[in-house]
A and B are shown apart, each in its own frame.
Chain A
């Protein structure tokens, strides 16, 4: 175990290398580029011994890693923004095909107009592709999430996307602790696929299905996606036991215990929200920040359990759920709480779009505005 200070993209690249991937394909796009360049460097120096293919588009990158995954390889790709949107068709293919690809998406705003900075519209637009989605709020989470992603993906045969904010995390220098390769090997042994594309084995992968088979596959994917929640929880515990390092929960609460105001968000904003909660508490409002680590499947039970009856939940999103007030987390939170007997006031807003700087004071203003709305 050693402490390092690197960019978020380098933290991710180091973890991908340690995860022992067999196959990688990627295409440059800001702010992802320095990540795939870093792995290209590992390939050039011989540190990465698998296959690295420089494809001509993200559509091809996802097609290639999905196919390599069907052969049984542990695969990786990374992208941002338009690249992720360009992959959309093949995201469905990878999940429908139960191919445990892992991808990093470095969050960036989407066209039109062009904008290079942090925004979650790219990832959340892939919500219903059947991918499991992790969000990170600092470099340690980026590094650790890579191993967690492979662990869960290969257990449930569902692909996992790890998202973190462009520039704010991808290009900033922050400290994090690495884990020894021997520990990673123990946590993440070589992939042992249940099936692979090979003449010894046969099969016709993804052939035309009739409605009955098709709907059975879809329902199975939906069920397994929900079941993966417990596998995430168990896999986090296993990682904690092996590394001896505490991991954030699927929803990590910080700040005042028994607060009556809760601030839910994901990505780098969630780190800032811890400071906002402290500030609010200083002002006499007992507040706690809730950092969402797993967006898909949504950890509804965790949210319901954390929130005390009668509390207020403020949800801030770096995205917009068009046609619904606020962003997607606001929708998710309201949906999760609907079945609960607890009476909880939920308010939401979309902030930080296109990388608008989310300082503590900006966030505090928005939270106070929503608290005023709650009072009214």
Chain B
């Protein structure tokens, strides 16, 4: 580091480089008896390191800092994150404050992947040249579904094709939260958003499968409601070089019209109804994770989709519709078909 740079360092943002212990492999039992292979079986056993300072501006129960805390426990302080306009950025704290202990690079909405491409490539070039000393920081993104499914998809797809060395995290709250909850490509059919007041008429994209089809180094779906599973997947991704995509399902109180205390419960219901599938793939080789596999294979009865729908205000038009039963039956049919197609990929 040059003298000039030292002078420019803000006291408050200096990060000591602390190594993290490698998590150990163990099996973890969910409360309903399903067994999940996990690197760390208990939250209490995860590293103490907190990437997010206390007191962010996010809503109570917000899934974004929840997910980032788990990600941070794996990636540790030698990492940098790219963010696009989103709830996460809006709740960071105004300049010059920041609720994150690691450096953040905010970029334009469509630029997440290309920005991470630039960072990771520049680290490679400058470390090789000796202008920066190693070890190379982990480069990752923390991007909403809008910045992933929609405006950012072109750049994302290209970075995956090039196998650029970073982890693209999408936290998927199934709408544009920051701008007041408009529909996105990840919003499920029938959900009310501010731009679909009559309920969304289109199905959501299956973006994780599109990413799987890129056959990149690692692709996984996860959920803030399954922190051990998320932790294990991030740990796996951390040790892989090349392009990695992890999408974290993120129930959101104001968006889904659920009480702020229900984020975790709703995320579990999403998985247990089959509405959100948990799986991972290395170089295109798919593994379906326990809860989803058991439902897909018919070994475990899916949880009630009716309840999942009724509990969310965004589906009020379904709940109150005279055709409610038919709509929910169609939704179930859609979920079953999706899971069958997933099984066929094994």
Spell out A's residues near B (CB within 8 Å). Answer: 22-23, 25, 49-51, 53-57, 59-61, 63-73, 75, 89-90, 93, 190, 192-210, 213
Report if A202-B15 is in contact (Cβ < 8 Å); known contacts: A57-B155, A208-B94: yes
Report if A63-B131 is in contact (Cβ < 8 Å); known contacts: A55-B158, A195-B8: no
| Other-chain contact of B105, A25, A49, A67, A89 (Cβ < 8 Å) | A67
Q: How far is the CA of A357 from the CA of B54 in the complex (A)?
A: 65
- Residue from the set A67, A89, A205 with the largest chain B CB neighbour count within 10 Å: A67
A69: chain B residues at CB < 8 Å are: 118, 122
A193: chain B residues at CB < 8 Å are: 5
**Docked-complex contact A56 and B155, CB < 8 angstroms:** yes
Quick one: closest A residue to B119, CB to CB? A67
Report if A209-B94 is in contact (Cβ < 8 Å); known contacts: A57-B155, A64-B115: yes
**Docked-complex contact B162 and A72, CB < 8 angstroms:** no
A49: chain B residues at CB < 8 Å are: 128
Report if A192-B2 is in contact (Cβ < 8 Å); known contacts: A199-B77, A208-B89, A208-B90: yes
**Docked-complex contact B14 and A202, CB < 8 angstroms:** yes
B155 to chain A, nearest CB (A): 5
B95 to chain A, nearest CB (A): 4
Q: How far is the CA of A202 from the CA of B12 in the complex (A)?
A: 9
| Other-chain contact of A207, B89, B121, B132, B157 (Cβ < 8 Å) | B89
| Other-chain contact of A63, B93, B100, B111 (Cβ < 8 Å) | B111
| Other-chain contact of B122, A57, A68, A209 (Cβ < 8 Å) | A68
A-B CB pair tally, cutoff 8 Å: 200
**Docked-complex contact B92 and A63, CB < 8 angstroms:** no
B107 to chain A, nearest CB (A): 6
**Docked-complex contact B94 and A23, CB < 8 angstroms:** no
B64 to chain A, nearest CB (A): 15
A60: chain B residues at CB < 8 Å are: 111, 113-114, 117, 154-155, 158
Q: How far is the CA of A203 from the CA of B8 in the complex (A)?
A: 10
**Docked-complex contact A206 and B5, CB < 8 angstroms:** no
B9: chain A residues at CB < 8 Å are: 201-202
| Other-chain contact of A206, B8, B17, B107, B157 (Cβ < 8 Å) | B107
**Docked-complex contact A203 and B15, CB < 8 angstroms:** no
Interface 1/0 per residue, B93-112 and A, CB below 8 Å: 11111101111111110110
**Docked-complex contact B125 and A73, CB < 8 angstroms:** yes
**Docked-complex contact B103 and A194, CB < 8 angstroms:** no
Quick one: closest B residue to A67, CB to CB? B118
Q: Which of B113-150 contact A (CB under 8 A)?
A: 113-119, 121-126, 128-129, 131-132, 137
A51: chain B residues at CB < 8 Å are: 121-122, 124-125
25 A–B contacts, CB within 8 A, in A order: A22-B131, A49-B128, A51-B121, A51-B124, A51-B125, A53-B162, A55-B117, A55-B158, A56-B157, A63-B117, A64-B114, A72-B126, A72-B132, A89-B110, A90-B108, A198-B137, A200-B1, A201-B103, A202-B12, A204-B100, A205-B103, A206-B105, A207-B106, A208-B106, A209-B94
**Docked-complex contact B90 and A71, CB < 8 angstroms:** no
A288 to chain B, nearest CB (A): 44
- The answer to whether the Cβ of B344 comes within 8 Å of any Cβ in the partner chain is no
Given A25-B121, A71-B119, A199-B77, 13 new contacts (CB under 8 A): A22-B125, A22-B131, A51-B121, A54-B162, A56-B161, A63-B115, A63-B118, A72-B131, A72-B132, A90-B111, A197-B119, A207-B96, A209-B94
**Docked-complex contact B107 and A194, CB < 8 angstroms:** no
A25: chain B residues at CB < 8 Å are: 114, 117-118, 121
Report if A71-B123 is in contact (Cβ < 8 Å); known contacts: A202-B13, A209-B94, A210-B95: yes
- The answer to whether the Cβ of B56 comes within 8 Å of any Cβ in the partner chain is no
**Size bracket of the B interface:** 35 or more
**Docked-complex contact B103 and A23, CB < 8 angstroms:** no
**Docked-complex contact B118 and A65, CB < 8 angstroms:** yes
**Docked-complex contact A73 and B126, CB < 8 angstroms:** yes
Interface 1/0 per residue, B258-300 and A, CB below 8 Å: 0000000000000000000000000000000000000000000
**Docked-complex contact B95 and A204, CB < 8 angstroms:** yes
Q: Which of B40-73 contact A (CB under 8 A)?
A: none
A206: chain B residues at CB < 8 Å are: 105-107
Report if A22-B129 is in contact (Cβ < 8 Å); known contacts: A70-B119, A93-B108, A204-B92: yes
Quick one: closest B residue to A22, CB to CB? B125
| Other-chain contact of B95, A55, A63, A200, A209 (Cβ < 8 Å) | A209
- The answer to whether the Cβ of B31 comes within 8 Å of any Cβ in the partner chain is no
Q: How far is the CA of A353 from the CA of B6 in the complex (A)?
A: 50
**Docked-complex contact B103 and A202, CB < 8 angstroms:** yes
Q: How far is the CA of A65 from the CA of B137 in the complex (A)?
A: 18
Q: How far is the CA of A198 from the CA of B108 in the complex (A)?
A: 20
| Other-chain contact of B104, A63, A65, A204, A210 (Cβ < 8 Å) | A204
- The answer to whether the Cβ of B215 comes within 8 Å of any Cβ in the partner chain is no
- The answer to whether the Cβ of B182 comes within 8 Å of any Cβ in the partner chain is no
B107: chain A residues at CB < 8 Å are: 63, 66-67, 93, 206
Quick one: closest A residue to B121, CB to CB? A51
- The answer to whether the Cβ of B210 comes within 8 Å of any Cβ in the partner chain is no
B125: chain A residues at CB < 8 Å are: 22-23, 50-51, 68, 73
Report if A207-B92 is in contact (Cβ < 8 Å); known contacts: A72-B132, A199-B102, A200-B1: yes
A185 to chain B, nearest CB (A): 14
Q: How far is the CA of A25 from the CA of B161 in the complex (A)?
A: 15
- The answer to whether the Cβ of B80 comes within 8 Å of any Cβ in the partner chain is yes
Q: How far is the CA of A193 from the CA of B124 in the complex (A)?
A: 17
**Docked-complex contact B108 and A63, CB < 8 angstroms:** yes
**Top 3 closest pairs, chain A to chain B, by CB:** A202-B13, A67-B118, A60-B114
**Docked-complex contact A194 and B80, CB < 8 angstroms:** no
**Docked-complex contact A207 and B104, CB < 8 angstroms:** yes
**Docked-complex contact A66 and B122, CB < 8 angstroms:** no
Interface 1/0 per residue, B142-185 and A, CB below 8 Å: 00000000000011011001101000000000000000000000
A38 to chain B, nearest CB (A): 19
- The answer to whether the Cβ of B320 comes within 8 Å of any Cβ in the partner chain is no
A55: chain B residues at CB < 8 Å are: 114, 117, 158
**Docked-complex contact A204 and B98, CB < 8 angstroms:** yes
**Docked-complex contact A192 and B4, CB < 8 angstroms:** yes
Quick one: closest A residue to B110, CB to CB? A59
B312: chain A residues at CB < 8 Å are: none
B110: chain A residues at CB < 8 Å are: 59, 63, 89
- The answer to whether the Cβ of B79 comes within 8 Å of any Cβ in the partner chain is yes
Report if A67-B122 is in contact (Cβ < 8 Å); known contacts: A57-B155, A192-B2, A199-B137: yes
Report if A67-B8 is in contact (Cβ < 8 Å); known contacts: A202-B15, A203-B13, A210-B94: no
**Docked-complex contact A57 and B154, CB < 8 angstroms:** yes
